[in-house]
Structure 1
Amino acid sequence: MIDLTEFESRAVPLRALGVVVSQNGMQLARKLWDDACRRNVYSASKSFTSMAVGIAQKEGLLSIDEKLTDAFKDDLPEIVSDNLKAATVRDLLTMCLGQEKSFLMGGERPYYEDRNWVRLALRQPFVYAPGEKFVYNNVGPYLAGILVQRRAGCDLVHYLMPRMFAPMGIQLPTWENDPNGQTFGAGGLFLTIDELHLFGQLLLQNGEWNGKQLIPAEWVKEATSKQVENGSEGYGYLFWAGPEGSFRADGKYGQFVILMRDKNAVVTVTAESRDAGALLRAVFEEIYPQL
């Protein structure tokens, strides 16, 4: 079992709401400091969109090598820059899309007058060549989610429901929509801490659940491996690299699903923290050494 005493002493002042720890498929600890209701997991939603892309590619609905000019040919600006012409679906997943500034962020979205966020996003300047510069941006995961929805003919929730959510016992979740009713794949998914933890366990098992391969194993491995530099440990396909070779789904205010493959473990945290970095350090200083 895991002793959470020291973690609790650090995490509660940082407004942690709960933590779940599993290793070798067995739950070692679960501690809640608030109700286990469904909460906004913010940008941890991006990692679910990443898995939707992998499933859709396996089903032949898309390819990550597709040019954006082909995938979104009806939404392009009047003048298409060379950098936009070079961008592919893969670039939507790495935060190296080529745009200079973050866009479609939470504080901005309610105030856009244009209801067509796809067109609006593609109008933003592509200042850099794809892959040249890491800029954290909601445009990539949003467009990736839109592409899956267009090709599948349904929203992301109903696309993932039979393919991932239902097999894991997760009932139909709420997910933020754009003004046209399309799932906002960059954020706004609501899950309980236990549902979030199931997702981490699925990833640790390389997409296999109860003998069924829900997500292609190679995609899970690729998405949760370093694909680009980001000035820190690196970034995968909508996953952050972290200490001790870990990878994590990471949402605002401390929503973490941390894969610790060297320990065959998953640690999930939900929080309302203004210092998510300190909360992450507490995980690796107080929980990781006990695994």
Structure 2
Amino acid sequence: MQVVKRSIFKLLLISFFTLNISAQEIYFPASGAWQEKEAAAYNLDFTDAVEFAKANEYSESKDLRQAILKGFQHEPYHEILGPTKRRGGPAGMILKDGYLVAKWGDIKRVDMTFSVTKSFLSTTALLALDKNLIADFEDPVINYVWDDTFEGEHNSKITWKHLLQQNSDWSGELWGSYDWADRPPKEGGIDDWRNRNLNEPGTHFKYNDVRVNVLAYSLLNVFRKPLPSVLKEEIMDPINASSTWRWFGYENSWTTIDGFKIQSVSGGGHSGGGMFINTEDMARFGLLFMNNGNWDGKQLISEKLIEEAVQPSIPNENYGYMWWLNADGPRQWEKVDKDIFYAAGFGGNFIIVDRKEKLVIITRWLEPSKVEEFVQKIYN
């Protein structure tokens, strides 16, 4: 009996140390610091990829106000409603096991990040579900938002999941912007776009910033406090992010909740606003997702929800909960692992997460058409 007890104790001891060593495999940077290692220590060489990123800067104006107006000039009624900022040059970081193994450009400079913001927004939705503020993403949003945002036969069917996967086909106007005027088809005109047939929620993917902003507004109604405050308290402070990031809405995207005037943030910089952040803080956010929502032993987002967020949606196999997926599909990067997922924004802003190889790749102001080649250089 004594021998059996000693054997059990030995197995428990081995298990404890194995788990402890496993937990220590990932390095989590303290506030204002980041330990560096040579890529060669992992038998890796990112020299070609870094030089490629520096040599293929986003080709449009550094005056992002002008770049935005040019990029969306085909949209009726498009205008700048939120703040913008003149951008810096190419910048980036590559993490291996959390350690900084490559960097270029000014990684402390705060810049707009456009639709990378969507992955921060979907994270607040994960938090709402974790905290039981939302019971189920399959719930109709009208059960949580009492005003007329989701009234009507079509909009009342829309669930949280539909909004997160951008397949809701929500129809209406928010903050002076109409859903049909956002990235309209090349064919037809205003009357055609306004009077289109609506798709059943969950059946048709459409990248649409107005509907993303509807999600942000709906989450604001659930939390009853500004989403930047939620993100700061629940995610950015615990991962030791800097105090320099900001998340903006529009000059007209204000609402009153509990007697307080609160700005509803935007999910991108399509009309200005969105997340303004430095490269280091983007890398911390990516590292959290690479480690399945766990930061140095503290589970900030449940692992189950992280996994759910990166599952393909039915109408778009390359899109989850506002994360792009490298799964089989038209947007897949060739010769790169299919399990990689990433946040992507206008102007060549990317947070790329590889959980298998424990890599996080941040690149900023890379010509968007060159990103696949850039990523291939990292892996080949």
Distance in 2, Cα, partners of 1:47 & 1:166 = 17
Q: In the alignment, does 2:233 pair up with 1:162?
A: yes
> Quick one: which of 120, 125, 132 aligns to 1:60?
132
> Quick one: which of 167, 170, 189 aligns to 1:96?
167
Q: TM-score, normalised by structure 2?
A: 0.64
Q: In the alignment, does 2:258 pair up with 1:177?
A: no
- Post-superposition shift, 1:254? 0.9
Paired AA for residue 156 in structure 1: L
Q: In the alignment, does 2:350 pair up with 1:256?
A: yes
Q: In the alignment, does 2:375 pair up with 1:288?
A: no
What secondary structure sits across from 2:238 in the alignment? helix
- Post-superposition shift, 1:87? 1.2
> Quick one: which of 200, 207, 210 aligns to 2:286?
200
Paired AA for residue 235 in structure 1: Y
- Post-superposition shift, 1:256? 0.5
Distance in 2, Cα, partners of 1:158 & 1:126 = 38
Aligned to 2:122: 50
| Cα distance, 1:99–1:67 mapped onto 2, change above 3 Å | closer
| Cα distance, 1:150–1:222 mapped onto 2, change above 3 Å | same
| Cα distance, 1:151–1:205 mapped onto 2, change above 3 Å | same
What is the RMSD of the two structures over their aligned residues, measured on CA atoms? Answer: 2.8
Paired AA for residue 86 in structure 1: K
What secondary structure sits across from 1:250 in the alignment? strand
> Quick one: which of 219, 226, 235 aligns to 2:319?
235
TM-superposition CA deviations, 1:39-79 (whole Å, max 9, x none): 1111101101111111111111123122133233312477x
| Cα distance, 1:124–1:217 mapped onto 2, change above 3 Å | farther
What secondary structure sits across from 2:356 in the alignment? helix
**What residue ranges of structure 1 are gaps of 5+ in the alignment?**
none
- Post-superposition shift, 1:208? 0.6
- Post-superposition shift, 1:255? 0.8
Aligned to 1:6: 48
> Quick one: which of 173, 186, 191 aligns to 2:267?
186
| Cα distance, 1:99–1:56 mapped onto 2, change above 3 Å | closer
Distance in 2, Cα, partners of 1:3 & 1:282 = 16
Paired AA for residue 263 in structure 2: Q
Q: Which structure: larger Rg?
A: 2
Distance in 1, Cα, partners of 2:343 & 2:216 = 16
TM-superposition CA deviations, 1:78-102 (whole Å, max 9, x none): 7x13x3222111110101112589x
| Cα distance, 1:26–1:124 mapped onto 2, change above 3 Å | farther
| Cα distance, 1:128–1:150 mapped onto 2, change above 3 Å | same
Aligned to 1:29: 102
Aligned residues: 269
Aligned to 2:74: none
**What residue ranges of structure 2 are gaps of 5+ in the alignment?**
1-38, 58-88, 183-193, 255-261, 269-273, 327-332
Distance in 2, Cα, partners of 1:97 & 1:124 = 17
TM-superposition CA deviations, 1:233-278 (whole Å, max 9, x none): 510000001232211011111110111223221111111x4x3131
- Post-superposition shift, 1:124? 9.5
Relative contact order, higher structure (CA 8 A, sep 6+): 1
| Cα distance, 1:89–1:77 mapped onto 2, change above 3 Å | closer
- After TM superposition, where is structure 1 displaced by more than 4 Å over at least 4 residues in a row? 123-126
- Post-superposition shift, 1:177? 1.6
Q: TM-score, normalised by structure 1?
A: 0.82
